[in-house]
Amino acid sequence: MGTIDRRDFLKLVGAGGVGAAAGFVLAEAIKHPVEHLIPYPVPPEEFSPGVAAWYNTVCSMCPAGCGISVRTLEGRAKKIEGNPSHPVNQGRLCALGQAGLQVLYNPDRLTGPLMRTGARGAGPFVQTTWDDGIAELAGRLNELRADGRSDRVSFLTAGVRGHLAALLELLMAELPGARLLQYDFDHPHTLLAANERFFGAGSLPYYDLENARYVLSFGADYLGGWLSPVHHALGFGRSRQGRSGARGRFVQVEPRMSLSGAAADEWIPARPGTEGFLALGIARQLVAEGGYEGADRDAWAAALDGHTADAVAAQTGVPAATIRRLAGDFAGTRPSLALGGGATGGHTNGVDALVAVNALNYLAGNVGRPGGVLFNPPPAFGPRARAAHASYRDMLALAEDARRGRIEILVVSDTNPVFTLPAAAGFAEALAAIPYIVSLSSFMDETTGLADRVLPSHTYLESWGDDSPEPGVGFTVGAIAQPVVAPLYDTRSKGDILLGIARALGAGEDFPWANMEDYLKAGWREVYGRAPIPAEAGGFEAFWISVLRAGVWGENGRRESGSPAVEARVIDAVGVAPPEFAGSSDEFPFVLHPYLSHALRDGRGANLPWMQELPDPMTSVWYGSWVELNPATAERLGLREGDVVDVESAHGKIGVPVYVFPAIMPDVVAMPIGQGHAGYGRYASRRGANPIQLLAPLTEPVTGGLASSATRVRLVPTGRRVSLVKQGGESRQLGRGIVRTTGAAAVTGPGARLASIPIKVEST
Amino acid sequence: MEPGRSGRQSGNPGDDRTGVSIVPALRILRPPALVLGVGLAGVAFGYWANTTYFPGTTPEQPIEFSHRIHAGDNQIPCLYCHSQARRSAIAGVPSVNRCMGCHEKVATDRPLIREVARYFADKEPIPWVKVHDLPDFVHFPHKRHVLADIACQTCHGPVETMDRVTRLAPTKMGQCRACHEEHAVVNGQDCWTCHK
Amino acid sequence: MSFLDDFRARWRAYRHPGHYERFDYAWTMTIDLDRCTGCEACVTACQAENNIPIVGEEALAKGREMQWIRIERYWEGEYPDVKLRFIPMLCQHCDAAPCETVCPVTATYHNQDGLNAQIYNRCIGTRSCSVYCPYEVRYFNYNVHHWDKPLDEQLNPDVTVREKGVMEKCTFCIQRIRQAKDHAKDDGRRRVRDGEMQPACVQSCPAEALVFGDRQDPQSRVAKMMADPRAYRVLEELNTSPSVVYLKKVGADAG
């Protein structure tokens, strides 16, 4: 027999033992980890686990006010869809609207009231309490009020509508002389002023793209972000292929092709700031050829005299033949519709240019008719007085007042002027002169970073509110916004914060509502009063529930028609001054065309990972900033894609890589707005550059709005090169026939209008 | 190993050794190969021992809830507590509230019941350990199966006889496939039906 | 069936994987390029619905994107007569899919609804399928994905969260199809009606460019859209029989 000695025996025993242990541990390690089943102590009534509950509310990602339905499972918001019943978006929703979930669940949300320690903008914020925060603010407000100095108080918000605006108005009434400014970078000041001047109504009209057959847009990126992009896209789609035998034709006039320019049948580059001349030229031809038969025909002919196709061609750079053809098409294809806005309004002659566009619509008979410009009835609820939106000039005045010590308390909510105002405004420095700044923002953006106290508000998905959309849909409509989830953190809705301040001011009697929901209900009793339900059928409570269930309320679904007469003095005043630019063309050979980035808008979307990872529709670039150059210009300057250049104006410079963009005028460069944050969370910070910083403080004289398209810049190569991260590979089809076009005037065969699809809501 | 120590001599290993005898043929499995072999056998043994004696099919629960008492002796229907099984993909466990529905009055002197009452008073959920756990890539809808009149015991076994719930079902795909095939379930053989 | 017929049927099934005599539902999507504006609402809607991870700038620089539906853009012409064309590109659910032929473990196959199915737990990550796909609509998980809390609260529990090492692609929102069939079954064992269910992209599209439904139902909207003279399929010449039908964009010289 073979033998084994003791050492070997021990080795074997050891090996066996270790092996057994290893095997045991291996079996344990690959075992499925223990999972738990966590029941509710007391189940909420609203939902069953595994079955979704849908809540209707209003989207707040842009001012359009689309209605949304949010799918929630076990109290968590999972998916946002458009509300099929809401006439603005009819069940559809844009990319930014879908990203609202990332606002709610953003990791960089402020979770509770904060107080600054250390220097402003540098010192860390520490947690504090609501009682503390409200008491201190109210205490200071009371102090000023008792002294008769409540004119030293300023509230600075984004544009607000509905009952929240009414509540703000009430609060302002408690502080005599206090100022309320509503500031948004892209507020259409010049459009409103043009409508005021021409139609006598300084509001946003309803543009009926759906029924138009020829749409001529001067700078308005109606599909990209102008006014109500989802509604416009619906109208665009239906105008194109939703009617039997009549395909809508779209023409876009702008120096740099926007999303609407890409969708258009024709993109017409015109020199920046000269679009108004083009409108006048087309109007002149229309009148001259007998297309307008109003009584004041002669006055119009006289006013438009001189804007011949050749004259306009010289001013705009658009060939005279093209101008004549456009005029013929616009007059000959009815209903036609002219839109004006965006960069066209962003010049020193912006109001005049948009008045010219209004005139064009008027002369072509588009006003007050389907397929044209219709007027919205006044909102059914909201503040008594229409709040004035702060123009650039108003913000400069605010900054100046701050510097002179005339502002002692500033309350900021939902707006980020430190980011969205040019460096030339010196706004951040002016803030330093204000002794007490409170921010109600949900995020630590650049402006909130300079605050003394932060009282963070709920996101829109956690708040009660309501909205009467602007631009409307041509008839009275409103929607209630309700919370879709319980609040995540120790935040409060803006309405509740305002009510808390009012009560702490001692004005509890004038604010007899326990919370925002109460206030809304009280306000909506008036709306209900327009068409009450008998008490047996449930009265107001039944009405309230029905509005929440539908997500929308409206009356009189027909659009009013009719065109107001235009006064003689308005006709005489029709005319456009040449645009002014900041910077000489020798030193600064290019005109800078900043545009709202598709995903990030005015910078608000930069903290949302979905929006950072959404390729720019035109260039497909992700995550960064770039400057767009005409190919011939790039060649002339010896620049290729990725070469980093300093874009320099008289007011600053930023370094960004070049993108060679085929559809931009040779002496125009374009940059997207939205990146370049110095705060605002991990996804937004220190990424790209903010072209707003470069803008010159040039304003449109009537409104004081920033002429954001009127800054001249130069490009200084840095010698550095980066690789632009883009989704697109080869940008030409090279005969592959992937996107095919047909020359025939083809329309969808069945011709049936593709109606909005009713979404079946999950039920138990 | 120094030659001359413990009787070992250089040259032919295995000659003149002291100690326990082993079968001569196994002489060829000298260490380290033998060590490796025994080691691997040990691994296999350890693995088997773990899966046989510690299978985890009957985990200990935070409260020793007995299905035998409730579903067996007292004949409470499964769906009374697991009410979501008929309506949703998730069967779920009853809320603490559901327990207190009876146990506010029933058997309140027993220590386990007092524990449940404490959870309820503190508004704290009872952290039950999941016995029938499927991987996350399996989407099993209870609703369809309950509505197809499949008795709970078909997969879960005679739960009404269990004091502590034991996982009798193998929870492997073969069981699902066999039943789907037998009953010719619509879309039942399509992977995407469950693995979406 | 005689032995010969049975053999022929089996041989045909072997030679044409994914070939069915008749689908249960033949899910089809039509995309009207004359309506599509390139707004990318479909891209974000899909991301939200299907737990699509954020891959980050570094991965994107390596071309490792993760978007089940993407908007492709093609320039035509030179300044100033330049045009930009958009086309949404997603899994075409080809009835003769090249990807199905190559998978060594049959993690991708054609199901009875005409869909190209991708089973994550079966996939071993050879990535051959993405090489075979002529539309480049298959996306591989090169990294372990991570959602900064509490962004993971938004994840859809009806959709599997994919691990590193598996391939994924558009599923025509199979979870919604399953849910629609579930509801239809509850509602008296009927069939899913046209328009009752749409994938997230179709539901969100502001221009109504996407239409989805069962092409075997002659009353369905997709069947009517497919009958349009503008209808075509991308890379038709490769004979992949896609289930996504595009409608040609109307050129500028049209009325």
Spatial separation of the C-alpha atoms in residues A502 and A517, rounded to whole Å: 16
User: The CATH number of A189-374 is which of 2.20.25.10, 3.40.50.300, 3.20.20.10, 3.40.228.10?
Assistant: 3.40.228.10
| A468 phi and psi angles, rounded to 5 deg | -115, 105
Residue B88 to chain A, least CA–CA distance (Å): 5
Lowest mean pLDDT among A143-147, A217-221, A293-297: A293-297
Give residue A429's pLDDT. 95
Query: Which residues in chain A are contacts of C85 at CB distance < 8 A?
Result: 262, 733, 739, 741
Torsion of CA A15, A16, A17, A22, to 10 degrees: 80
Q: How confident is the model at residue A250 (pLDDT cuts 50, 70, 90)?
A: very high
| A602 phi and psi angles, rounded to 5 deg | -90, 20
| A119 phi and psi angles, rounded to 5 deg | -70, 155
CB contact under 8 A, B193 and C178: yes
| A728 phi and psi angles, rounded to 5 deg | -70, 140
Please tell me the total number of residues recorded for chain A in this structure: 764
Q: A649 and A713 in contact (C-beta within 8 Å)?
A: yes
In chain A, CATH 2.40.40.20 sits at 590-721
Give residue C255's pLDDT. 33
| B153 phi and psi angles, rounded to 5 deg | -65, -20
Backbone torsion region of residue A583, taken as left when φ is above 0, otherwise alpha when ψ lies between -120 and 50, otherwise beta: left
Query: Which residues in chain B are contacts of C160 at CB distance < 8 A?
Result: 136-137, 139, 195-196
CB contact under 8 A, C158 and B137: no
User: What domain count does chain C have?
Assistant: 1
Choose between A451 and A761: higher pLDDT.
A451
CATH classification at residue C220: 3.30.70.20
Rounded to a whole number of angstroms, the distance between the first and last alpha carbons of chain B is 62
Amino acid at A331: A
Structure tokens at A228: 């109500």
Q: Please indicate if any CB of chain C lies within 8 Å of the CB of A241.
A: yes
What DSSP designation does A114 have? Answer: E
Give residue A295's pLDDT. 87
Query: Which residues in chain A are contacts of B6 at CB distance < 8 A?
Result: 5-7
Lowest mean pLDDT among A110-124, A412-426, A432-446, A563-577: A563-577
| Helices within B56-189 (DSSP H only) | 67, 78-81, 96-103, 111-121, 142-147, 153-156, 173-182
Q: A736 and C236 in contact (C-beta within 8 Å)?
A: no
Q: C86 and C32 in contact (C-beta within 8 Å)?
A: no
Residues B4-45: tens digit of each pLDDT? 444 444 444 545 455 555 666 555 556 677 788 888 999 999
Closest Cβ opposite residue C154 in set A77, A662, A723: A77
Any domain includes C114: yes
Any domain includes B17: no
Spatial separation of the C-alpha atoms in residues A74 and C157, rounded to whole Å: 11
SS in 3 state form for A306-363? CCCHHHHHHHHCCCHHHHHHHHHHHHHCCCEEEEECHHHHCCCCHHHHHHHHHHHHHH
Residues B61-88: tens digit of each pLDDT? 999 999 999 999 999 999 998 988 888 8
Structure tokens at A211: 């029924």
Give residue C16's pLDDT. 64
Q: A671 and A653 in contact (C-beta within 8 Å)?
A: no
Q: Are strands C244-247 and C27-32 parallel, antiparallel or unpaired?
A: parallel
Percent of chain A residues topping a pLDDT of 70: 96
Instruction: Give the architecture-level CATH label for domain A590-721.
Output: Beta Barrel (2.40)
Q: Please indicate if any CB of chain B lies within 8 Å of the CB of C248.
A: no
Give residue A245's pLDDT. 76
Lowest mean pLDDT among A449-463, A529-543, A671-685: A529-543
Any domain includes B41: no
Q: A187 and A159 in contact (C-beta within 8 Å)?
A: yes
Give residue B9's pLDDT. 44
Query: Which residues in chain B are contacts of A40 at CB distance < 8 A?
Result: 95-97, 125
Give residue B11's pLDDT. 46
CB contact under 8 A, C47 and A610: yes
Spatial separation of the C-alpha atoms in residues A741 and B59, rounded to whole Å: 65
Any domain includes C253: no
Give residue A121's pLDDT. 83
The SS3 of residue A167 is helix
Percent of chain C residues topping a pLDDT of 90: 87
C189-209 b/e (C-beta count within 10 Å ≥ 16 → b): eeebbbbbbbbbbbbbbbbbb
Give residue B52's pLDDT. 83
Give residue A748's pLDDT. 45
Mean pLDDT on A129-141: 96
Q: How far is CA A511 from CA A134, A142, A186, B24, in A?
A: 16, 16, 33, 101
Q: Kindly report the average pLDDT of chain A as a whole number.
A: 92
Residue B107 CA neighbour count, 13 Å, CB half:
13
Give residue B6's pLDDT. 47
Query: Which residues in chain A are contacts of B95 at CB distance < 8 A?
Result: 39-43
In chain A, CATH 3.40.228.10 sits at 189-374
Residue C23 CA neighbour count, 13 Å, CB half:
19
Q: Which helix (H) or strand (E) holds B41?
A: helix B33-53
Any domain includes B143: yes
Q: C80 and A662 in contact (C-beta within 8 Å)?
A: no
Any domain includes C8: no
Residues A571-623: tens digit of each pLDDT? 988 999 999 999 999 999 999 999 999 999 999 999 999 999 999 999 999 99
| A160 phi and psi angles, rounded to 5 deg | -125, 145
Output the DSSP codes for A170-214: HHHHTSTT-EEEE--TT--HHHHHHHHHHHS--S--EE-GGG-SE
Residue A74 to chain B, least CA–CA distance (Å): 12
Q: A95 and A415 in contact (C-beta within 8 Å)?
A: no
Spatial separation of the C-alpha atoms in residues C230 and B173, rounded to whole Å: 46
Q: How confident is the model at residue A165 (pLDDT cuts 50, 70, 90)?
A: very high
Q: How far is CA A366 from CA A261, A324, A325, A524, A727, in A?
A: 22, 20, 19, 35, 41
Residue A100 CA neighbour count, 13 Å, CB half:
29
Give residue B134's pLDDT. 87
Query: Which residues in chain A are contacts of B13 at CB distance < 8 A?
Result: none
Spatial separation of the C-alpha atoms in residues A139 and A755, rounded to whole Å: 56
What DSSP designation does B69 have? Answer: I
Any domain includes B71: yes
Spatial separation of the C-alpha atoms in residues C246 and C229, rounded to whole Å: 11
Q: A113 and A133 in contact (C-beta within 8 Å)?
A: yes
Structure tokens at B121: 């008073």
Q: Please indicate if any CB of chain C lies within 8 Å of the CB of A51.
A: no
Mean pLDDT on A650-675: 96
Give residue C204's pLDDT. 97
Give residue B2's pLDDT. 46
| Pairs of CB atoms within 8 A across A/C | 266
- Which chains reach chain C with 3 or more Cβ–Cβ distances below 8 angstroms? A, B
Name the strands in the sheet holding A465-467, side by side, starting at the edge strand that comes first in the sequence. Answer: A465-467, A476-481, A553-555
CA nearest to A366, candidates A213, A204, A191:
A213
Residues B99-139: tens digit of each pLDDT? 898 998 988 889 999 999 999 999 989 999 999 888 889 99
Torsion of CA B88, B92, B93, B96, to 10 degrees: -70
ipTM: 0.93
Spatial separation of the C-alpha atoms in residues A590 and A691, rounded to whole Å: 14
Closest Cβ opposite residue C206 in set A92, A257, A760: A92
Domain that holds residue C197: 14-247
Q: How far is CA A279 from CA A362, A572, A578, in A?
A: 12, 16, 14
CB atoms within 10 A of CB A485: 18
Q: A398 and A181 in contact (C-beta within 8 Å)?
A: yes
Instruction: Give the architecture-level CATH label for domain A114-186+388-555.
Output: 3-Layer(aba) Sandwich (3.40)
Output the DSSP codes for chain C: --HHHHHHHHHHHHHSTT--SS-SS-EEEEEETTT-----HHHHHHHHHTTPPP-HHHHHHTT----SSEEEEEEES-TTS-EEEEEEE-----TT-HHHHH-TT--EEE-TTS-EEE-TTT-----HHHHH-TT---EE--S-----TTGGGG--TTSPPPPTT-EE---S-HHHHHHHHHHHHHTTS-PPPTTS---HHHHH-TT--EEEEETTSTTSHHHHHHTSTTEE-TTGGG----SEEEEPEEPTT--
CB contact under 8 A, C160 and B187: no
Q: Which residues lie below 8 Å from residue A551, measured CB to CB, with a gap of 6+?
A: A56, A57, A67, A68, A69, A83, A85, A86, A479, A480
The SS3 of residue A152 is helix
Residue A145 CA neighbour count, 13 Å, CB half:
19
Amino acid at A588: F
In chain A, CATH 3.40.50.740 sits at 114-186+388-555
A262-278 b/e (C-beta count within 10 Å ≥ 16 → b): bbbbbbbbbbbbbbbbb
Q: A233 and A224 in contact (C-beta within 8 Å)?
A: no
CB contact under 8 A, A2 and B48: no
- pTM for the whole structure: 0.91
Name the maximum alpha-carbon separation found in chain C: 68
CB contact under 8 A, C37 and A263: yes
Any domain includes B25: no
User: What domain count does chain B have?
Assistant: 1
Beta bridge partners of A154: A179, A410
Domain that holds residue B83: 67-93+128-194
Spatial separation of the C-alpha atoms in residues C42 and C50, rounded to whole Å: 12
Spatial separation of the C-alpha atoms in residues C118 and C14, rounded to whole Å: 19
Say whether pLDDT at A763 is over 50. no
Percent of chain A residues topping a pLDDT of 90: 80
Q: A56 and A482 in contact (C-beta within 8 Å)?
A: yes
Residues C85-100: tens digit of each pLDDT? 999 999 999 999 999 9
Give residue A12's pLDDT. 83
Q: What is the pLDDT along chain C (255 residues), one digit of tens a residue?
A: 689 988 988 887 777 655 566 788 999 999 999 999 999 999 999 999 999 999 999 999 999 999 999 999 999 999 999 999 999 999 999 999 999 999 999 999 999 999 999 999 999 999 999 999 999 999 999 999 999 999 999 999 999 999 999 999 999 999 999 999 999 999 988 999 999 999 999 999 999 999 999 999 999 999 999 999 999 999 999 999 999 999 999 985 533
